[in-house]
Amino acid sequence: MNETVLTLNGVIDSYGWFRYQVEAFLNKNKDVPVRIKLDSYGGSVEEALAISRLLEGHGNVTVEFMGYVASAATWMAFGAKRIEMHEDTLWLCHKCSVSISEWGYKKAEELDQLIKDLKAQKKSAEVIDLTIARKYLERCTASGKTLQDVLTLMDEERYITSSDCLSWGFVDKVIPGMNQSDRESISDFVNLMHLPAIPKEADPGDSGKAGQEGLLNRFLSGLASMFNEKKQAGKPELPEGPKPTTQTQNKMREDFKSVNALLEVTGLPVSDGKIELTQEQVKAIEDALAVGKEVDDMLDSVSEHVKSIKGTVNKVNALKLLVDRIPTGVPGSSSQAGTEDNDDTPDTSDMNDPVNEYVRTNFKKKGKN
């Protein structure tokens, strides 16, 4: 199914993205599924509430959380039909903030008025917090969360992971590893390195473990299958070892699961504290070690930096970081999949004003909220 894509990154207010821009985009795509790629630290409560209602009114919007999603951006998406989140995205909710600008000298009666004004602002902030907390609760009641649980999470003001968001009910799906465009951009690289093929993304309706596996785990699974393929080539059929019957054998089976899996046995006989192996079993271990060295050599050929890293898993981690740095698009752009260029797409070139630029260059680089 083709989707019209809107990339929404930056502040949600009159200096960045606000309701009229989103409304114009949705109105021009009323009968088309819309995907909003959202990467935002939040912004105005008023604008976020209005945008949430616009998403709900359209009726066929999917919000895709990317990068850092915080504050008003977290619940602005609740008006969408579906919310998806990349596995490396970070998500943060917190209580609202109000602007206070008072200075100078005050007389007693002026201080009384200031105290009254601050108390009124405090009550307003509490009402906003309760309204937002109830919006969160609507999404996570099915997971057994209470209003107090939500308020506690808001008070902690900390980033949580995509798996936490899924368990709370804030998102409907976690996008594992890399999306389809990433796969296409590095397919030549994977083939060149003779690495295991990247598995296809699980069906959206599959809520099993396979749908939530990360790139690294799936990559390691691919390496494991390559080990098995090379191990089986030319290896004679091994007789199944005797089933463990003693306490010593049971302990051995628990301690050496990888060896037993490699030799395809449930346990190995133990005599006087020594494990007995057949000649074929020793050869199978030797073949596996040879394949392991071949994989290490293959990883070492990627770069001198990878070669200097100790441990196969650490090398794969370094390779993942290398792959993740391959550009996949132009930030802030919007496109329509499977259609010609759409001249009706709102012009957003004038949105890169100094305020947004300041937020991007200062807040994101310093990790501030």
Q: Cβ distance 113 to 189 under 8 Å?
A: no
Domain 1-94+157-175+339-369 has CATH 3.90.226.10: yes
| pLDDT, tens digit (0-9, with 9 covering 90-100), for 168-215 | 999 999 998 754 444 554 555 455 445 555 555 444 444 444 444 455
What does the pLDDT average to over 263-286? 78
Question: Pick from 95, 164, 166: which is nearest to 129 by CA?
Answer: 95
User: Model-level pTM?
Assistant: 0.48
| pLDDT, tens digit (0-9, with 9 covering 90-100), for 322-363 | 666 555 444 444 444 444 444 554 454 444 455 455 445 555
Question: Pick from 344, 345, 315, 348: which is nearest to 331 by CA?
Answer: 348
Confidence check: pLDDT of 243 > 60: no
- For residue 368, the model assigns a pLDDT of 43
Residue in this structure with the two tokens 């619940």, named with its chain if needed: 75
In angstroms, what is the C-alpha Rg of the chain?
A: 28
- For residue 233, the model assigns a pLDDT of 55
* SS3 at position 66: strand
Cα gap 93→95, rounded to integer Å: 7
The pLDDT mean for the chain works out to: 75
Confidence check: pLDDT of 125 > 90: yes
| 8 burial via Cβ count (<10 Å: 0-12, 13-18, 19+) | buried
Domain layout of the chain by residue ranges: 1-94+157-175+339-369, 97-154, 180-238+278-324
Element (H, E) at 343: none
- For residue 317, the model assigns a pLDDT of 72
What does the pLDDT average to over 211-235? 54
- For residue 249, the model assigns a pLDDT of 45
- For residue 71, the model assigns a pLDDT of 93
CA distances from 141 to 70, 169, 332 (A): 21, 8, 34
Cα gap 54→162, rounded to integer Å: 25
- For residue 366, the model assigns a pLDDT of 46
Q: Cβ distance 359 to 351 under 8 Å?
A: no
Cα gap 328→331, rounded to integer Å: 9
What does the pLDDT average to over 248-257? 53
The better pLDDT of the pair 161, 348 is held by 161
Confidence check: pLDDT of 76 > 80: yes
For the CA atoms of 224, 229, 233, 236, the dihedral, rounded to the nearest 10 degrees, stands at: 70
What does the pLDDT average to over 249-277? 69
Q: Cβ distance 80 to 101 under 8 Å?
A: no
Confidence check: pLDDT of 39 > 60: yes
Largest CA distance in the chain: 96
237 — pLDDT class (breaks 50, 70, 90): low
Cα gap 12→15, rounded to integer Å: 8
- For residue 337, the model assigns a pLDDT of 44
Q: How many residues does this entry show for the chain?
A: 369
- Sign of the C-alpha dihedral computed for residues 123, 124, 130 and 136 taken in this order: negative
DSSP secondary structure of 299-319: HHTT-HHHHTS-SHHHHHHHH
- Sign of the C-alpha dihedral computed for residues 25, 26, 30 and 36 taken in this order: positive
- For residue 326, the model assigns a pLDDT of 57
For residue 141 the two structure tokens come to 């009641």
228 — pLDDT class (breaks 50, 70, 90): low
**Neighbouring residues of 332: CB distance < 8 A, sequence distance ≥ 6:** 7, 9, 10, 348, 352
- For residue 139, the model assigns a pLDDT of 93
